[in-house]
């Protein structure tokens, strides 16, 4: 399963493109509505990931330590830093 926001967004784009290519003469909208719901959920995950990354960046910009951010994330300081430190370099 995709993990980064970019991977989530790319997976969603690919899934939507595949769904759009299905022949409506042989595949009814009802038959793929569940798959459309899956791609919609993936879009929400990608948006939430973007929001989380922005929040971590804001916390760092406000001088928050990785330890404090880790507490808010429910993870270790090291895990938080490893996952999000590259955002601060952008």
Task: Give domain limits for the chain.
Answer: 5-88
- Within 13 Å, how many C-alpha atoms sit on residue 21's CB side? 6
Tokens of 2: 């995709």
Percentage above 90 pLDDT, the chain: 46
Judged against a pLDDT cut of 60, whether residue 38 lies above it is answered with yes
pTM for the whole structure: 0.69
Contact 17, 8 (CB under 8 A): no
Contact 24, 30 (CB under 8 A): no
Tens-digit pLDDT profile for residues 71-86: 999 999 999 999 999 9
């Amino acid at each position: 399963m995709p993990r980064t926001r970019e991977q989530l967004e790319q997976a969603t784009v690919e899934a939507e493109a595949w769904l759009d290519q299905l022949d409506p003469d042989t595949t009814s909208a009802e038959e793929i509505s569940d798959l459309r719901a899956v791609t919609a959920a993936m879009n929400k995950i990608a948006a939430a990931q973007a929001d989380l990354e922005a929040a971590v960046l804001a916390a760092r910009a406000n001088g928050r330590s990785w330890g404090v951010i880790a507490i808010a994330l429910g993870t270790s300081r090291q895990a938080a830093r490893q996952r999000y430190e590259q955002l601060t370099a952008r």
